[in-house]
Each structure stands twice: as C-alpha cells, then as structure tokens.
Amino acid sequence: MSSLTLTPTNALASALNSSRSSVAIAVLDGLSIAHVAARKGQSAALAARVKELFGVTLSQTPRIATGSNVSFVWAGPDQWLAMARADTNPDFERDLRGKLEGLASVADQTDARALATVRGPNARHVLAKGVPIDLHPKAFPAGSAAITHASHIGVLMWLSEADDTFTLACPRSYASSFWNWLTESAVEFSPAVGE
C-alpha cells in the first residue's frame, strides 16, 4: 500500500493568484477610424458594396463585423464605425469615401476618439462599475457592441469575436477622465496597465 503524500497549501494562495493581473488594460492606438452613415434608401446597396469590397457583412444590430483588414462596428441605425490599421491605410477615410460614393456619408474620426482595451477574467467586473448594461456573456456575447456610457462618459464599446477583449471608444476630450475611471476601477484586481 503506497503512502499518501500531502502538500500543504496556504489558505490564501488561490485568493492571491486569482487577483493577480486578472485584468489587463491598454491604450489602443494606431487605428484609422471613419464614421459611415448610409444615405437615405441606400442601406442595402451599401451593405452589398461593403461585402464586395471587404468581405464583411455589415451588422444591422449592435455587433462588430471583422474582415481581414477592416472592422465595422454598429454605431446606430444605418451607421457604423469603420476601423483599419493606420500604418497600412494612411488615407483610410478618403479612400473609403471614394469607394462608398453615393451610398454613404463618410467622416474621419481617427483623432476624435480615444480607445482602450480591457481583457482578462475580471474585465466584466471592472466595466460593471461604470457601464450600466448587462455584460454577462449570455447578454453580451462575443461580437456584441453597444452605445452607452461609462462613468457618465459616452462610449461605443464592443467585445471582440476572437479573444474576449472589450474595446471602449470615448470622445477624445474625455480621454483622461475616462482613463482615470478605468484604471481606478481596476485597482482591486491589480491590473496590468499597458500604454
């Protein structure tokens, strides 16, 4: 009969492990952003053009649709925020405006929004301190988007389809207040804060 070996475990070990960097917050930079609003009666034609150009199906409900080079996040009825990497798409807005001529009004938002990402097991707990909508995976599954507010600051937010990362976009002039709220809300979870 083999002897049983027991390893002592500190009663608080799990508490320490679960709180250490259980949330990561980072600034999301380097994106070209454009607001796209369908012209009157052109919604279907716009969706067809976007599908043809980028292989992305524009969502008519609050969701994000991600293609290989560009993402379209729902930003209101018949409106979307289009995003692409700035380094490979320096003229994103002008380019998009040309491609969607007659179908949508396109406005540059690159410098108008500040973006931050929140991920990790406690991301929902951090966001729940200021975001008044239900972020439970059943109510806000991967790929969902919402226009709401975070600590009274208007945000457009979405949950990526791929890696359980929340992204929040707030007006540029609110960026420091927003960042202050976000980092303060995460303190209890010892966040990993990136630039």
Partner 1 sequence: MRISCPYCGERSLDEYLYIGDATVTRPDPAGANAQADFYKYAYERTNPAGAHKELWYHSAGCHAWLVVERDTRTHEISSVETAKDVALKRNVAKGGA
Which residue lies nearer to partner 1 by CB, 27 or 153?
A: 153
Q: Which residue lies nearer to partner 1 by CB, 54 or 166?
A: 166
Binds partner 1 (CB under 8 A): choice among 131, 146, 157, 169: 146
Binding mask 81-100 for partner 1 (x = CB under 8 A): --------------------
Nearer to partner 1, 56 or 146 (CB): 146
> Measured from the CB of residue 166, what is the shortest distance to partner 1 in angstroms?
17
Shortest Å distance, C-beta 75 to partner 1:
8
Q: Is 179 left (phi over 0), alpha (psi -120 to 50) or beta?
A: alpha
Q: How far is the CB of 47 from partner 1 (least distance, A)?
A: 16
Nearer to partner 1, 24 or 47 (CB): 47
Scanning 28-36, 84-92, 148-156, 160-168 for contacts with partner 1 by CB under 8 A, the matching segment is: 148-156
Q: Which of the ranges 5-13, 20-28, 143-151, 177-185 carries the binding residues for partner 1, by CB under 8 A?
A: 143-151
Is residue 147 near partner 1 by the rule CB under 8 A? yes
> Which residue of 77, 138, 162, 195 would you call a contact of partner 1, by CB under 8 A?
77
In a 13 Å sphere around the CA of 10, the CA atoms on its Cβ side amount to: 6
- Burial string for 158-186 (b: 16+ CB within 10 Å, else e) reads bbbbeeebbbbbbeeebbeebbebbeebb
Q: Exactly one of 133, 135, 192, 193 binds partner 1 (CB under 8 A); which one?
A: 133
118 vs 156 by CB, closer to partner 1: 156
Residue ranges in contact with partner 1 by CB under 8 A:
61-62, 76-77, 132-133, 146-149, 154
